[in-house]
Amino acid sequence: MAAVDLNALFAPSNPLNVIKKAFEQEHTRFVKAMKKKNTAKNSEDGNSKWATRLFNLWNGYEKRLPSQYMNEKLVSTGEILVKLQEYGLALHQCFDRYILWIERQTGKSTDVLFKEQYFQAEESNETKQTELTIRAFLGRVICAYRLVVSQDSRLESINTQNYTISLLETLRKTMTVSVTNEKLSWLTYNGTIYVYTIARSLMSVGLSSKVLEYLLWVANAMESAVALLAVKYLTWRVTLYAAVCQCYYDCKAGVCTTGTE
């Protein structure tokens, strides 16, 4: 997974630059079409054709352009689709595809790679790979959450509740990588937002005891990153601690007595 100098690779004199330009033109047309679809809110315009279009776009160029470049496009496109609330497309055609690429390259599941601290390298090129991987996992989790909530908005099903709690565990595992690298503190911050969002929904259905440990963990994660100790993040840190306090209150663990008469 050695880094490639993309600027040199896509120099005007390099024939590969022509392929890159063709890809970017198709990619731009796709993004514009998705934004237009999102604005129109055309309920009859199903996602299947958009999934096919995006699938064909990746397949048409992934073997003709450097994987480093294509991976960046995969993740960034997924993030664009998340903003457009196209969670299914983002999950299956972008984030899952990137994670599958990682697993094929290493021959190991990402769970194993996280346990082996595979994404902990400090070299700039490998830090970039770590960043992409964390972004993909964060995107994957928030898409999965939005999709499950679209089917069970009140989290009434036990299966939905258990699945949502498992997403919190995935977030914690992912953020364990970012908190060890100060350059990735912005991803730690994004992760705390996702944990809080999911935890609050579970708290609303009486599962404060299940999410307490995750809220405590992200509150500590905020405190462990020097960049996140800045004053501009103070309000957010207070919000996290307020949620922790609410959990303790919900669990009736807010008052201590000495037991004396």
Domains of the chain, residue spans: 9-151, 160-254
H or E stretch covering 18? helix 16-40
Residue 73's CB is within 10 A of a number of other CB atoms, namely 19
pTM of the model: 0.88
Return the pLDDT at 17. 81
Return the pLDDT at 5. 58
Asked whether the beta carbons of 88 and 143 are under 8 A apart, the reply is yes
Asked whether the beta carbons of 248 and 254 are under 8 A apart, the reply is yes
Amino acid, single-letter form, for residue 187: L
pLDDT in single tens digits along all 261 residues of the chain: 545 656 656 666 677 888 999 999 999 999 999 999 888 765 455 678 899 999 999 999 999 999 989 999 999 999 999 999 999 999 999 999 999 999 998 888 887 877 776 676 555 556 788 899 999 999 999 999 999 999 999 999 999 999 999 999 999 999 998 998 889 999 999 999 999 999 999 999 999 999 999 999 999 999 999 999 999 999 999 999 999 999 999 998 655 455 444
